Structure 1
Amino acid sequence: MNDFPFAVVAFDLDGTLADTAPDLTAALNHALQALGRPPVPAEDVRHMVGHGARALLSKGLAATGEVNEELIERGFPIFLEYYQSHIADHSRPFEGLEAALDALAARGVKLAVCTNKLEGLSRELIDTLGWKDRFVALVGGDTLPVRKPDPAPLFAAIERAGGGRAAFVGDSITDTDTAKAAGIPCVAVSFGFSDRPADQLGADALIDHFDDLIPALERIAG
């Protein structure tokens, strides 16, 4: 094991590990169509992701007309059923990710996932993408009574991965706020689903490609 500064590196899922926007867009628009709504462009959906499936549906409804709890309750199971059946039709790892994960593992780092995506859907996506053995811990949006930006899910993911000094990698203000609340260094990716420019997320480091991840982690470790 090399003398790497972090024992655990945790990752957000959607927009950080994988570009899941095409499949999320298809599921959202399937649910919206069932509710008599027009589709939402894929580029708009990229800025709606990060707070879980119900929030995504709510934002899709708001973008196409009225939104209320009754519509969300009707549309949510439609969204989930479609998404589960098409969870990785077009979702792909971001370029350089798997090489970066390999390099971290070679340094003895334990890898974890901390996402607001439902835990069951997260496991299914990770398994479908062939990552079942890459991550030693997963905390989803319904694993605990709270979700990001509450720091508890991140703390749980780190603990379940074995504990120790940790860093978090994400793509949104939800992720950077979670890391700040946890007092943990954070790397943001510029290619994710953020609702604002990546340089406004307040991360400790910003990367444009996963080739830059390990140098960024070493840099923010101090």
Structure 2
Amino acid sequence: MNHFPFRIVGFDLDGTLVDSLGDLTAALNHALGLAGRPPVAADAVRSMVGLGTRHMLERGLAAGGGVAEDEFQQIYDALLVYYEAHIAVHSRPYPGLTAALDRLDALGVQTAVVTNKVERLARPLLGELGLADRMAAIIGGDTMGPGNAKPSPAPIHAMIERCGGGRAVFVGDSIYDIMAAKNAGVISIAVSFGFPNQPVEGLGADHIIDHFDELLPLLERL
């Protein structure tokens, strides 16, 4: 462990650890159907992910003409119920992730998740995929209170504290992940295979990987 340059490796969840697009699309379209709005294609949903489930629904409804403010919470609650019941039907870890986590564990590195998905959804998704117990900390978009989701540095700072301190790096797929890492003063790594809301080269990450097989060799060089 002494030779490895990081004590903590943090990850975003949707689009970074897990390809959850199929289940997010199904849940969103279920909610849109209840609201009498047209469904949206998975490619469109890809650009709606990153600021949490509520934001995804707001954008999905806006694409179909919107909804009255007093109806939104009921539709949002229905989305959460549906998603919780179908949280890992199609969702799977990205290729190479398990091997990368095994290697980090063997090196004594703490791993953690910082996501803008609410914690009540993040934990069961990770649990269903056998990832929850591998994480020293799981921080959702609501864990730190209002206004403290990514791109705020607060959840990254909390991740470092909960993992016992030390040099950290953060891996994500969106501008919110990279901004949070930069705001917290930690090295940022962008994955090219997730749900970026702009070309990955334009995110401003310190480094980019195209597969999790590249993660450990990169970290060892830093």
- TM-score class normalised by the smaller sequence: over 0.9
Q: Assess if the C-alpha contact under 8 Å between 1:27 and 1:79 holds in 2.
A: yes
1:125-204 equivalent positions in 2, closer than 5 A: 125-145=125-145, 146-204=148-206
1:1-222 equivalent positions in 2, closer than 5 A: 1-145=1-145, 146-219=148-221, 221=222
Unpaired stretches in structure 2, ≥5 consecutive residues: none
Letter of the 1:185 partner, please give it.
I
TM score, norm. by length of structure 1: 0.96
Letter of the 1:69 partner, please give it.
E
Distance in 2 separating the partners of 1:4 and 1:106 = 11
Percent identity over the alignment is 59
Distance in 1 separating the partners of 2:12 and 2:88 = 17
Distance in 2 separating the partners of 1:72 and 1:190 = 33
Question: How far apart are 1:74 and its partner, in Å?
Answer: 2.5
RMSD between superposed Cα atoms in Å: 1.1
Q: Secondary structure at the match of 1:111?
A: strand
Unpaired stretches in structure 1, ≥5 consecutive residues: none
Question: How far apart are 1:75 and its partner, in Å?
Answer: 1.2
TM score, norm. by length of structure 2: 0.96
Question: How far apart are 1:52 and its partner, in Å?
Answer: 0.7
Distance in 2 separating the partners of 1:163 and 1:45 = 36
Question: How far apart are 1:47 and its partner, in Å?
Answer: 1.0
Q: Assess if the C-alpha contact under 8 Å between 1:19 and 1:92 holds in 2.
A: yes
Which stretches of structure 1, 4 residues or longer, exceed 6 Å deviation after superposition?
none
Distance in 2 separating the partners of 1:148 and 1:181 = 10
Letter of the 2:116 partner, please give it.
N
Question: How far apart are 1:85 and its partner, in Å?
Answer: 0.1
Instruction: Name the count of aligned residue pairs.
Output: 220
